[in-house]
């Protein structure tokens, strides 16, 4: 039986519009809450950044972003959960040094590939590393500390073996010839008491870890591994100013999605993140913690991808310097 064009048009007119639309158009992204996985316990720097970013991004997306902690194995458990999630934009990762650019060199049989199993959305936060000293260490400059470490034992705590701050300490010793002794702790917060009590000489840690105590005169932040002095402590010089050429290091936090997430969804998330980071309230919260504001070029998917690649190379070198092997 031949069906006329008039009949076809009439049938189309009587069909609900939704049935004629592409499947993608039926439910514009996002049409439900988004999960932002933090691969560490609540209360740390990554968790803080995730909550600030989630709150600031939500209005642009028109949906709530729920922060969910999935801790364990130095961030690998949470990262693996996102790597294997559906690439639909509803499960995102709060990515940082550990799961992305440190664990590949200290953990054997990593259950994901940090360079292949994620697509970056953008870098959100940079917490510069710093050398913090107890008042009993009588040095005023980084050069004096390096020389003193060659004459007597100077112990610096870090967040643990294979942590981002451990990698920075290894790089610093190699770059300066210092002989600072590594004392690993189980997280940045765990070393605070021993630094304040003088049990150890100091720490290589994020500026935020002991910023409050520096302000109270209990410890002294000697130098920061940043391109410029943090706004919160303008009297503290950078390591570059102190003679360590091109030396920067930070605990970074960004947002990533599972690989194969559609490009238009990544673009939407990227724009929402850029808007969030441009808000004064967001910037004020980060500055108050001693963090650097992220340069515009790293806030994008492409820029964050390049940043991760550079950090991956730095961590590989630092792991070799520290004598670390995947276990």
For residue range 252-271, what is the model confidence (pLDDT) as tens digits?
A: 999 999 999 999 999 999 99
Predicted local confidence at residue 15, as pLDDT: 44
Task: Please report whether residue 21 resides in a domain.
Answer: no
**Number of structural domains, the chain?**
2
Predicted local confidence at residue 10, as pLDDT: 45
> Token pair 């076809």 is at which residue?
8
Verify that 106 and 55 share a domain, yes or no. yes
Verify that 45 and 180 share a domain, yes or no. no
Write out 104-171 in H/E/C secondary structure: HHCCCCCCCCCCCCEEEEEEEEEEEEEEEEECCCCCCCHHHHHHHHCCCCCEEEECCCCCHHHHHHHH
Return the exposure string of 291-320: e unless at least 16 CB atoms fall within 10 Å of the residue's CB, then b: bbebeeebbbbebbbebbeebbebbeebbe
Q: Are strands 202-206 and 155-158 parallel, antiparallel or unpaired?
A: parallel
Task: Please report whether residue 206 resides in a domain.
Answer: yes
Domain CATH code at residue 155: 3.40.190.10
Verify that 118 and 168 share a domain, yes or no. no
Quote the pTM value.
0.79
Verify that 97 and 39 share a domain, yes or no. yes
Predicted local confidence at residue 14, as pLDDT: 45
Q: In angstroms, how far apart are the furthest CA atoms of the chain?
A: 99
Predicted local confidence at residue 5, as pLDDT: 43
Beta bridge partners, 204, equal 131
Task: Please report whether residue 71 resides in a domain.
Answer: yes
Using one digit for the tens of pLDDT, what is the confidence trace for 104-160? 998 999 999 999 999 999 999 999 999 999 999 999 999 999 999 999 999 999 988
Task: Please report whether residue 79 resides in a domain.
Answer: yes
Using one digit for the tens of pLDDT, what is the confidence trace for 268-283? 999 999 999 999 999 9
Q: Would you mind telling me the total number of residues written for the chain in this entry?
A: 327
Q: What residues contact 78, with CB distance under 8 A and at least 6 apart?
A: 37, 38, 39, 40, 69, 70, 71, 72, 93, 99
Verify that 162 and 304 share a domain, yes or no. no
Q: Name the residue range of residue 263's domain.
A: 29-127+250-321
d(CA 182, CA 322): 10
Task: Please report whether residue 53 resides in a domain.
Answer: yes
Cα–Cα distances in Å, from 257 out to 40, 61, 143, 288, 317?
17, 15, 43, 28, 27
d(CA 289, CA 294): 14
Cα–Cα distances in Å, from 305 out to 17, 45, 253, 266?
40, 21, 13, 13
Task: Please report whether residue 193 resides in a domain.
Answer: yes
Rounded to a whole number of angstroms, the distance between the first and last alpha carbons of the chain is 72
Domain CATH code at residue 114: 3.40.190.150
The SS3 of residue 301 is helix
d(CA 229, CA 239): 10
Tokens of 48: 């803080």
The answer to whether residues 157 and 194 touch, using CB atoms and an 8 Å cutoff, is: yes
Task: Please report whether residue 12 resides in a domain.
Answer: no
Task: Please report whether residue 195 resides in a domain.
Answer: yes
Q: DSSP string of 42-101?
A: TTSHHHHHHHHHHHHHHHHHTS-EEEEE---GGGHHHHHHHHTS-SSSSEEEEEEHIIII
Verify that 132 and 105 share a domain, yes or no. no
Predicted local confidence at residue 20, as pLDDT: 42
**Residue among 39, 151, 169, 59 at smallest CA distance from 103:** 39
Verify that 254 and 122 share a domain, yes or no. yes
Verify that 123 and 141 share a domain, yes or no. no
Q: Which of 208, 224, 240 is the last residue of a domain?
A: 224
Q: What share of the chain is helix, strand, coil (3-state, %, to 5)?
A: 45, 20, 35
Verify that 120 and 139 share a domain, yes or no. no
Per DSSP, which regions of 194-279 are E strands? 202-206, 219-224, 250-258
Verify that 118 and 142 share a domain, yes or no. no
pLDDT confidence tier of residue 24, bands split at 50, 70 and 90: very low
Verify that 152 and 188 share a domain, yes or no. yes
Using one digit for the tens of pLDDT, what is the confidence trace for 206-220? 898 888 899 898 899
Q: What residues contact 313, with CB distance under 8 A and at least 6 apart?
A: none
Verify that 285 and 138 share a domain, yes or no. no
């Amino acid at each position: 039986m031949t069906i006329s064009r008039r009949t076809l048009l009439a049938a189309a007119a009587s069909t609900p519009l939704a049935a004629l639309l592409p499947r993608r158009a039926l439910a514009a992204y996002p049409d439900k809450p988004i999960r932002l996985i933090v691969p560490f316990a609540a209360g740390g720097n990554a968790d803080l950044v995730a909550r600030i970013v989630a709150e600031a991004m939500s209005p642009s997306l028109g949906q709530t972003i729920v922060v969910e902690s999935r801790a364990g194995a130095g961030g690998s458990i949470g990262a693996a959960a996102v790597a294997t999630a559906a690439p639909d934009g509803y499960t995102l990762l709060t990515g940082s040094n550990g799961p992305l650019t440190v664990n590949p060199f200290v953990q054997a049989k990593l259950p994901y590939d940090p360079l292949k199993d994620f697509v970056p959305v953008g870098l959100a936060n940079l917490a510069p590393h710093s050398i913090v000293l107890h008042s009993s260490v009588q040095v005023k400059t980084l050069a004096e500390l390096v020389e003193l470490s060659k004459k007597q034992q100077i112990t610096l705590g870090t967040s643990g073996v294979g942590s981002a701050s451990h990698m920075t300490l290894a790089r610093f010793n190699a770059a300066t010839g210092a002989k600072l002794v590594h004392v690993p702790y189980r997280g940045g917060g765990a070393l605070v008491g021993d630094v304040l009590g003088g049990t150890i000489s100091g720490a290589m840690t994020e500026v935020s870890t002991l910023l409050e105590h520096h302000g109270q005169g209990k410890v002294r932040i000697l130098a920061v591994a940043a391109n410029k002095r943090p706004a919160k402590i303008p009297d503290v010089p950078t390591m570059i100013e102190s003679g360590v050429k091109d030396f920067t290091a930070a605990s970074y936090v960004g947002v990533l999605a599972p690989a194969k997430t559609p490009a238009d969804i990544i673009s939407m998330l990227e724009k929402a993140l850029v808007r969030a980071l441009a808000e004064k309230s967001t910037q004020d919260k980060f500055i108050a913690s001693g963090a650097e504001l992220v340069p515009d070029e790293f806030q994008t998917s492409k820029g964050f991808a390049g940043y991760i690649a550079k950090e991956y190379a730095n961590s590989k070198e630092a792991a070799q310097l520290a004598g670390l092997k995947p276990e």
